[in-house]
Structure 1
Amino acid sequence: MWFFSKNGPSGFSASSTAEEVTQGTDGTGLTAIVTGASSGIGTETARVLALRGVHVVMGVRNMATGREVKEAIIKEIPTAKVDAMELNLSSMASVRKFAEEFKSSGLPLNLLM
C-alpha cells in the first residue's frame, strides 16, 4: 500500500508540493497557458510556474478574479510575467477568441495546462 509520506521512484510523494518538485527548474523563456487559473490548483500551478520564470497566461472565465490572482502573484513574485485572458472552455466562441488573441501576442506556446 502506498503511504503518503513514502517517496516513490521519483523521490517525491503524494505530500510533495509543487515548489519542492520544481526546485532548481529554470523556466525562463517558456510560456504556459494555464486554464482555470483563477482558483484552486490552477492558481497554484500559475504561481509556481511564475516562480520558476515561466511567462504564464492565465485563461480565466471571470476577469475580475483573474486580475486579483495576477496581482497576488506579482505581489509575491515581483519579477513574474503573468497575463490574464478571458477564456470560457464551454464556449467555442470564447475559445476561438482566446486562441486568436494569444496567437496575435506573438508568444510561443510551450506548456498547456
Structure 2
Amino acid sequence: MWWFYRKGPSGFSGASTAEEVTAGVDGQALVAVITGASSGIGVETARVLALRGVHVVMPVRNVAAGLAVRESIVAKVPGARIDVLEMDLSSMASVRRFASEFESLNLPLNILM
C-alpha cells in the first residue's frame, strides 16, 4: 500500500485530506449546493467548503438532521454561511419546491454536488 501515500504530480496522494487539498483556496464568492450533506462524506464536504469561506446550501430530507449538522459545523467554523432547505430527491414536487426556495435566496450557483 506504499502507492497510497505516494504523491502524484499535483503534490497530493490518496492519503491527503480535504483540508490539505483546499489549503489556500478562498471560496468567499462561491455558493455550493451539496446534496447528501446531512451524513457521511457530505458532512465533511460541507465542513471543508465552509472552512474555505464557501456559502453552503444543504438540501436535506430530514431538516432536523440538517440543522444538527449545521450547528456542528458552525461550532467548528465560526462565521460559516450555511442554509438548510428541505428536499427529497425521490419527489419531483419536493425538488421543485427546493429550486423555488433556492431561487428566492438570490444566490448564484457555482458548485453543485
**What is the TM-score with the length of structure 2 in the denominator?**
0.96
The one-letter amino acid of 1:14's match is G
Measure, in 2, the Cα distance between the counterparts of 1:2 and 1:58: 37
1:50 counterpart residue number: 50
Deviation, 1:45, is 0.4
* Correspondence 1:73 to 2:73: yes
Deviation, 1:90, is 1.3
Measure, in 1, the Cα distance between the counterparts of 2:101 and 2:80: 21
1:101 counterpart residue number: 101
| Matched residue SS, 1:78 | coil
Query: Moved runs in structure 1, 4+ residues, more than 4 A?
Result: none
Measure, in 1, the Cα distance between the counterparts of 2:90 and 2:10: 35
Measure, in 2, the Cα distance between the counterparts of 1:45 and 1:14: 16
Deviation, 1:3, is 1.4
Measure, in 2, the Cα distance between the counterparts of 1:21 and 1:93: 37
1:83 counterpart residue number: 83
1:26 counterpart residue number: 26
Structure 1 residue runs of 5 or longer lacking an equivalent are none
Number of positions where the alignment pairs a residue of Structure 1 with one of Structure 2: 113
1:11 counterpart residue number: 11
Aligned-pair identity in percent equals 66
| Matched residue SS, 2:25 | coil
1:35-83 C-alpha deviation (Å, 9 max, x unpaired): 0000011000000000000000011111110000000011111110001
